Structure formats: structure tokens, C-alpha cells
């Protein structure tokens, strides 16, 4: 069995690549829930939905999130009323949040509801929230953020939720700290620790180390479980030649004092990862990564290029002689 520690877009692409070369019944994804939010009284789980929609080939290709063939009638009504519309919920996507919220109000946990949604999309893999308990990524601003017609100005030192940072303020403000509210009192979701202990191979997907992978590791028990299985843990670097393919991972690493490079990723991951896969653009860093005590595999990792996804998936699997 392969267990993938996953955030949003980059992880969804990695999972899609793996499912090209192994049966979905062999794959379990442990997905970040630190991006989750409650809005309009609805429970919204962006990374769970991005993984599900992508693997169901139903992701909105323009945005990388939400559903394809989407309409925005509900959102336009919110705009007409001056309601909250900065977080775009399409009419089809709303169905997912309505279903999830209703099932949770009936007493189902997030793992159960996620399994129902994943199977309704006809997917065979196991998608597990890192925790069913409340866990929210919070970021502290490193500088003042002037207001605009959507939101009030904030001074340096203010703490906001991940989505207020990422979407409302377009992650365009530097951060000085990241915190995972609720981490100390949450439990790993059902099946999560078993999926780590029983895996033949564990893959840290090319997601943002700071706000997609770290919140999963912050759930008590998960980091230790990965450390115990370090010899079968392989990570794919989300940073290529000092930059992230999408989103603020490189900037957040620098803003928080890490080196925004494959070496910085290796330093963040070395306690629980034994093999780091880096892009050929970073081949010069292989020796330095090995000196940190990790195996280092150099290959093409930009999955948007044709054929790279499958070859990368095979390279990842080779690490476990699968
Ligand atoms: N990202 C945006 O940049 N703008 C949005 O309006 C937006 C809405 C949205 C709705 C549902 C959903 O599942 C994801 C959504 N995202 C949006 C992406 C979201 O911010 C994710 O957390 C990021 O992709 C980071 O993983």
C-alpha cells in the first residue's frame, strides 16, 4: 500500500500520476484540513475537495480548484446583497459543502463524509482527513496590509486565517509566523496512523511544506509515526530552482527563515524523510542533500510536461522496489 501525505493542487497531481501506474485500491491519501473554513454556515474542506475533484477529472482547469462547468448564480446573489463573496463558491461546488455540512450535523465524522463523497465520484482510493477535529492554519502578518474595497487594513502582527491570507489578501503580504490552531488537542483521523504504519511506501507530495504538509505533521502522533517509518518515506520537492510552481511556498519559506530551495526542503524534512526527489534543474544540490543524510534522486518533476507524471510516479515507486 502507498500512503501519500497531501495538500492541494500539487498533491492532487502527484496522486493522479501514481494512479496511472498503480491500482487505486493500493493508495491512501492523508489530506491537510488546516485550510478548512466555515462560511455561510457551511463546512468547506478545500484540500479534500481539490484532491477528490482532480482525481475525478472534475476539477476546474482554469482555477485549479472547484468544479468544471461551474456557474456562479449563488455567488452573484451574495454580491447583490453585499454578502461574503471573496471566497468563491460555485453552484455545483456548493452541493459538496451542503452535503458535507448536513451529514456532519447528522453526527457523521469528516472521514465518513469524505469517504461518501469520494465513492460518489467513483474513486477507488482511500482519502483520509488528517484529523476530524478542528484544526485551522493561522498566519501572522509581518507588515501592515492596507485595506481595499474588500477588507479592512491590518497592522503587522495581526493574525488571520489561512484563507483570509491566501484568497482574500491574495497571499500578497509577508508572514512572520504560522500556527495550527487546535493542533495540540486534535486526534489523527480514523485510519491515519494505520495508513502510515502499514504502508510499503509513504510519499510526501509536492505541496507547500509550511501550510500544507506541516499542518498534517502537527496532528499529534503523525510526525512520530512518520519518523518511525523514515526508511520508506520519499518526498517530492515542491520547490524547483528556488521557486514554487504555484502558490507562495517559496516566499513563505524565506519569510519564516528557511532556505527557499531543495536544500531548505531537505532540512525541513530530514527527520522523517529518507529520500528526496528533486528536479534536474537542482542537480547541483544533490551532494549537499546527501550530506544532510538523505538519499537524493534527480529527475524531471514538472508534471505539466507530457509523460513526466508517469515517469515521476515510477521513480517514486522505485524507492520502495514496488
Ligand atoms: N482559491 C482562490 O484563490 N480564490 C477562491 O475564491 C477560492 C475558492 C475556493 C472554493 C472552494 C475550494 O475548495 C477552494 C477554493 N480556493 C480558492 C482554493 C483554496 O484557497 C485552497 O485552499 C488553495 O488552493 C490552497 O490549497
Give which of 51, 124, 319, 54 is closest to 202, Cα–Cα: 319
* Model confidence at 321: pLDDT above 70: no
Give percent of the chain with pLDDT exceeding 90.
94
Q: Is 167 exposed, middle or buried (0-12, 13-18, 19+ CB in 10 A)?
A: middle
List the grid coordinates of 245.
510552481
What is the value of pTM for the model shown? Answer: 0.97
| pLDDT tens digits, one per residue of 75-126 | 999 999 999 999 999 999 999 999 999 999 999 999 999 999 999 999 999 9
User: Among the three residues 181, 213, 245, which one is the final residue of a domain in this structure?
Assistant: 181
List the grid coordinates of 21.
501506474
pLDDT band at 320 (very low <50, low <70, confident <90, very high): low
CA of 38 to the centre of ligand 1 (A): 13
- Do both 95 and 239 map to the same domain? yes
Q: What is the dihedral of CA 208, 209, 215, 220, to 10 degrees?
A: 150
| pLDDT tens digits, one per residue of 152-171 | 889 999 999 999 999 999 99
Number of domains in the chain: 2
| pLDDT tens digits, one per residue of 256-267 | 999 999 999 999
Give which of 91, 114, 92, 120 is closest to 43, Cα–Cα: 114
Identify the residue whose C-alpha is closest to ligand 1 atom 4.
Answer: 167
* Model confidence at 314: pLDDT above 90: yes
CA of 291 to the centre of ligand 1 (A): 38
pLDDT at 177: 98
CA of 45 to the centre of ligand 1 (A): 9
Cβ 129 under 6 angstroms from ligand 1: no
pLDDT band at 146 (very low <50, low <70, confident <90, very high): confident
* Model confidence at 151: pLDDT above 90: no
User: Among the three residues 181, 208, 243, which one is the final residue of a domain in this structure?
Assistant: 181
What does the angle CA 138 – CA 142 – CA 145 come to, to the nearest 5 degrees? 90
- Do both 195 and 104 map to the same domain? yes
- Do both 82 and 224 map to the same domain? yes
Domain that holds residue 255: 2-133+185-318
Three-state SS string over the chain comes to: CEEEEECCHHHHHHHHHHHHHCCHHHEEEEECCCCCEEECCEEECHHHHHHHHHHCCCECCCCCCCECCCCCHHHHHHHHHCCCCCCCCCHHHHHHHHHHHHHHHCCCCHHHHHHHHHHHCCCCCEEEECCCCCCEEEEEECCCECCCCCCCCECCCCEEEHHHHHHHCCCCCCEEEEEEECHHHCCCCCCHHHHHHCCCEEEECCCCHHHHHHHHHCCCCHHHHHHHCHHHEEEECCEECCEECCCCHHHHHHHCCCCCCHHHHHHHHCCCCCEEEEEHHHHHHHHHHHHCCCEEEEECCCCCCCCHHHHHHHHHHHCCCC
pLDDT at 305: 85
pLDDT at 288: 98
* Model confidence at 269: pLDDT above 90: yes
Pocket test for ligand 1, best of 86, 88, 206, 211 (most atoms within 8 A of CB): 88
- Do both 110 and 15 map to the same domain? yes
230-243 mean pLDDT: 98
List the grid coordinates of 258.
528557511
Residues 265, 236: Cα–Cα separation, whole Å: 10
Cβ 167 under 6 angstroms from ligand 1: yes
Length reported for the chain: 322
Identify the residue whose C-alpha is closest to ligand 1 atom 19.
Answer: 46
- Do both 55 and 128 map to the same domain? yes
- Do both 126 and 201 map to the same domain? yes
Task: Provide the β-strand partners of residue 181.
Answer: 136
- Average pLDDT taken over every residue of the chain: 96
Task: Please report where in the chains the cell 500500500 appears, as a residue.
Answer: 1
- Do both 120 and 68 map to the same domain? yes
Which ligand 1 atom is at minimum distance from the Cα of 87?
6
| pLDDT tens digits, one per residue of 27-40 | 999 999 999 999 99
Domain CATH number, residue 201: 3.40.50.10680
- Do both 280 and 257 map to the same domain? yes
178-201 mean pLDDT: 98
- Do both 43 and 121 map to the same domain? yes
- Do both 267 and 120 map to the same domain? yes
Which ligand 1 atom is at minimum distance from the Cα of 53?
13
Identify the residue whose C-alpha is closest to ligand 1 atom 16.
Answer: 65
Pocket test for ligand 1, best of 13, 14, 60, 65 (most atoms within 8 A of CB): 65
Residues 84, 127: Cα–Cα separation, whole Å: 30
Identify the residue whose C-alpha is closest to ligand 1 atom 9.
Answer: 88
- Do both 12 and 41 map to the same domain? yes
pLDDT at 273: 98
- Do both 166 and 116 map to the same domain? no
Which ligand 1 atom is at minimum distance from the Cα of 170?
3
Identify the residue whose C-alpha is closest to ligand 1 atom 3.
Answer: 167
Amino acid at each position: 500500500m502507498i500512503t501519500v501525505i497531501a495538500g492541494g493542487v500539487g498533491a492532487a497531481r502527484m496522486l493522479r500520476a501514481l494512479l496511472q501506474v498503480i491500482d487505486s485500491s493500493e493508495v491512501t491519501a492523508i489530506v491537510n484540513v488546516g485550510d478548512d473554513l466555515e462560511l455561510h454556515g457551511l463546512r468547506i474542506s478545500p484540500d479534500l475537495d481539490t484532491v477528490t475533484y482532480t482525481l475525478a477529472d472534475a476539477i476546474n482547469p482554469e482555477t485549479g480548484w472547484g468544479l468544471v462547468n461551474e456557474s456562479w448564480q449563488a455567488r452573484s446573489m451574495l454580491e447583490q446583497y453585499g454578502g461574503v463573496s471573496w471566497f468563491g463558491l460555485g453552484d455545483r461546488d456548493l452541493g459538496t459543502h451542503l452535503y458535507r455540512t448536513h451529514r456532519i450535523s447528522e453526527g457523521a465524522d469528516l472521514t465518513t463524509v469524505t469517504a461518501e463523497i469520494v465513492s460518489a465520484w467513483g474513486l477507488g482510493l482511500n482519502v483520509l482527513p488528517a484529523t476530524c477535529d478542528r484544526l485551522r492554519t493561522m498566519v501572522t502578518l509581518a507588515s501592515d496590509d492596507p485595506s481595499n474595497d474588500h477588507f479592512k487594513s491590518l497592522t503587522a502582527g495581526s493574525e488571520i486565517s489561512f484563507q483570509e491570507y491566501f484568497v482574500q489578501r491574495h497571499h500578497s503580504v509577508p508572514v512572520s509566523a504560522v500556527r495550527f490552531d487546535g493542533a495540540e488537542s486534535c486526534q489523527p483521523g480514523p485510519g491515519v496512523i494505520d495508513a502510515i504504519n502499514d504502508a510499503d511506501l509513504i510519499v510526501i507530495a509536492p505541496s507547500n511544506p509550511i501550510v500544507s504538509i506541516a499542518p498534517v505533521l502537527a496532528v499529534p502522533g503523525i510526525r512520530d509515526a512518520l519518523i518511525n517509518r523514515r526508511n520508506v518515506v520519499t518526498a517530492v520537492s515542491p520547490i524547483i530552482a528556488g521557486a514554487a510552481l504555484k502558490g507562495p511556498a517559496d516566499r513563505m519559506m524565506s519569510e519564516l527563515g528557511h532556505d527557499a530551495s531543495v536544500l531548505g526542503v531537505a532540512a525541513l524534512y530530514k527527520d522523517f524523510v529518507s529520500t528526496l526527489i528533486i528536479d534536474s534543474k537542482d542537480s547541483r544540490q544533490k551532494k549537499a542533500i546527501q550530506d544532510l543524510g538523505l538519499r537524493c534522486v534527480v529527475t524531471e518533476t514538472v508534471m505539466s510536461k507530457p509523460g513526466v507524471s508517469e515517469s515521476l510516479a515510477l521513480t517514486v515507486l522505485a524507492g520502495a522496489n514496488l
